[in-house]
Amino acid sequence: MSTENSSYKILVVDDENSLREMLSILLQREGYQVDQAEDGARAFAQIQKNHYDLVISDIQMPRMTGIELLRQLREQGNNVTVMMITAFSSTEEAVEAMKLGAYDYITKPFKNDEIRLVIKNALEREYLQQQNRQLKKQLGQRFSFKNLIGQSAKMCKLVSLMERIAPSQANVLITGESGTGKELVAQALHLHSDRKQHPFVPINCGAIPENLLESELFGYEKGAFTGADKRKVGLFESADKGTLFLDEIGELPIGMQVKLLRVLQEREFRRVGGTNNIPLNIRLVAATNLNLEEMIEEGNFRQDLFYRLNVVSIELPPLRTRQSDIPLLINSFYQRLTGREEYPIQQTALKLLLNYDWPGNVRELENLVERCVVLGDGDELTVDCLTDQIRHKNRNLSTLMGNLPDEGFDLDNWLEDLERTVLLQALEKSDGIKKRAAELLGINFRSIRYRLEKLGIDNNE
């Protein structure tokens, strides 16, 4: 008896008592849990009350046939794996059952070794399907719009836009600095679209050598070039009926830009070395942290391709422009790492976090939370677990420069950083009330509002 089979539960359905008993004994010896039903109607009732990993059913039975049982289960949305038993003369009915979604059928009389193997394969398939369903559920939860953490005006506007465009078939161009979560947004768009049951295929255009890009995207036929000893399906074909995510689209060489444009215009492509056109049925989502419009002016990106990609645009805000979301993001990352709900933040540490520029954006913050969980005591985010760069940023900018460095420096950036630091300190001292902060700085309300908007400082007061 195999103990690894004990977690599987099988329902044997047959109006012939001797066959039911024989199968039940055989399966119990293999370690499976086994129930019996003498016809389809009784089996249908039992399936409503119990979970089964596999149903083994005869086709010809009184009251309800095996085919009718299968049909009713599928109409109900029950995708339990079903295997049919049929007499040799009834193979046409077995084929009909396969069309309705039966896993397989075996003909009477059958050998014990044969049915053992078919059942083993059927349960392995059921296990993989369960894992796939669970994975899709977890992905759906992780990439839910609700998990695009933030209550700032910028994030609320972003989520509202995504909810509107996700069900459409329009191409989407996602822009934003590195680390702002462009692939997270692409995944969320896919999982909230009509294509969610089909593949999401990501590719980083900057990570694949130029000479391999075409064959990676479009695939190739056997003999297309030296070493092509068999046909290879490309990423466009792999994403059929789903979503293809082209990350770092700005890194795509000009030659490949031309070929991509042609594919998007014609809605078909050929494998390298192929002669047949393959219909294209994908939604394309592209992303970049580069300024494509500047690249167009410089001749490094095709304007016609830009218009094809940029049917709908999503611009992800950098973290420094939505400081109010930082505590929410910290709690979210902490919960994912530890399973605990809230991560208290020491006030001094929070001040430093809010004053920091976050060049690595949300990804940098996520890495920091993991660092604090590992290096800190785990009960509170304190200054001690912050990086030197974050701890010293505020102090360095608040100190006026003594001697001009020999190598020079960027005065505009330095003054902007200094202005941002002073404004944030004034807002902190005034509990976020702009009018009071303006009075502390000796400026009027209109002036502080203008400065905050210019620097992208999110403040809702």
Label residue 248 by pLDDT band (50, 70, 90).
very high
CA-closest candidate to residue 100, choices 75, 65, 125, 127: 75
The reported pLDDT for the residue numbered 7 is 77
Residue in 123, 95, 91 with CA at minimum distance from that of residue 108: 91
CA atoms within 13 A on the CB side of 103: 20
Those residues with Cβ within 8 angstroms of residue 128's Cβ, 6 or more apart along the chain or in another chain: none
**In the predicted model, is pLDDT for residue 127 greater than 80?**
no
Q: Across the strands, what pairs with 219?
A: 233
Q: Among the residues of 281-410, which ranges form H helices?
A: 292-297, 303-309, 326-338, 347-355, 361-375, 388-398
Selection from 106, 22, 9 nearest residue 58 by Cα: 106
Q: Which carries the bigger pLDDT value, residue 5 or residue 315?
A: 315
Do the Cβ atoms of 362 and 328 come closer than 8 Å? no
Q: Per-residue pLDDT averaged across 35-60, rounded?
A: 91
pLDDT at 461: 47
Query: What residue segments make up the domains of the chain, in order of their start?
Result: 3-139, 151-317, 321-455
Which CA distances in Å does 123 have to 83, 169, 288?
Answer: 11, 37, 44
| pLDDT number for residue 310 | 94
CA distance 186 to 204: 13
Q: Distance between CA atoms of 101 and 245, rounded to whole angstroms?
A: 32
Q: What is the mean pLDDT of residues 58-69?
A: 88
In this prediction, residues 280-289 reach a mean pLDDT of 94
Neighbours of 394 (CB within 10 A): 18
Q: Which residues contact 131 (CB under 8 A, 6 or more apart)?
A: none
Q: Is the pLDDT of residue 172 over 50?
A: yes
Give 278's strand partners: 269
When pLDDT is cut at 50, 70 and 90, the band that residue 143 belongs to is: very low
Residue 197 has pLDDT above 80, yes or no: yes
226 pLDDT band (50/70/90 cuts)?
confident
C-alpha to C-alpha distance for 7 and 125, rounded to whole angstroms: 15
CATH topology of domain 321-455: Helicase, Ruva Protein; domain 3 (1.10.8)
CA–CA distance, 44 with 69 (Å, rounded to integer): 7
What's phi and psi for 444, nearest 5 deg? -90, 170
**Side-chain half-sphere of 27: how many Cα atoms within 13 Å?**
26
Q: Do strands 33-37 and 278-279 pair parallel, antiparallel, or not at all (unpaired)? A: unpaired
Same CATH fold assignment for domains 151-317 and 321-455: no
Q: At what angle do helices 326-338 and 361-375 cross, to 10 degrees?
A: 50
In the predicted model, what is the mean pLDDT of residues 261-288?
A: 91
Residue 202's pLDDT is 92
| Residue 284: closest CA among 174, 129, 141, 396 | 174
CATH class of 151-317: alpha beta
Edge-to-edge strand list for the sheet holding 172-175: 200-204, 243-247, 283-288, 172-175, 312-315
Average pLDDT score, the chain:
84
Q: Which residue type does 80 have?
A: V
CA angle, residues 123, 129, 134, in degrees to nearest 5: 130
Query: What confidence category does residue 132 fall into, taking pLDDT thresholds of 50, 70 and 90?
Result: low
- pLDDT band per the 50, 70, 90 thresholds, residue 174: very high
pLDDT range class, residue 136, cuts 50, 70, 90: low
Decide if 123 contacts 104 (C-beta within 8 A).
no
Q: How far apart are CA 283 and CA 264, in angstroms?
A: 10
Residue whose entry in the numeric block shows the structure tokens 């929070």: 350
Q: Provide the pLDDT for residue 369.
A: 93
Confidence of residue 274 (pLDDT cuts 50, 70, 90): confident
Whether omega for the bond prior to residue 405 falls within 30 degrees of 0, making it cis, is no
Higher pLDDT, 403 or 185: 185
For the segment 103-107, the average pLDDT, to the nearest whole number, is 83
Q: Which CATH number fits domain 3-139: 1.10.1370.40, 3.40.50.2300, 3.40.190.80, 3.30.365.10?
A: 3.40.50.2300
> What SS3 state is found at 392?
helix
Q: Quick one: pLDDT at residue 121? A: 86
| Mean pLDDT value across residues 260-265 | 93
Token pair for 289: 């942290």
CA 2, CA 30: separation in Å to the nearest integer? Answer: 6
Distance CA 307, CA 301 (A): 11
- Which tens digits make up the pLDDT trace of 418-435? 888 888 888 878 878 888
Q: Which amino acid is at 25?
A: I
pLDDT over 80 (residue 213): yes
The sign of the torsion formed by the CA atoms of 77, 78, 81, 83 equals negative
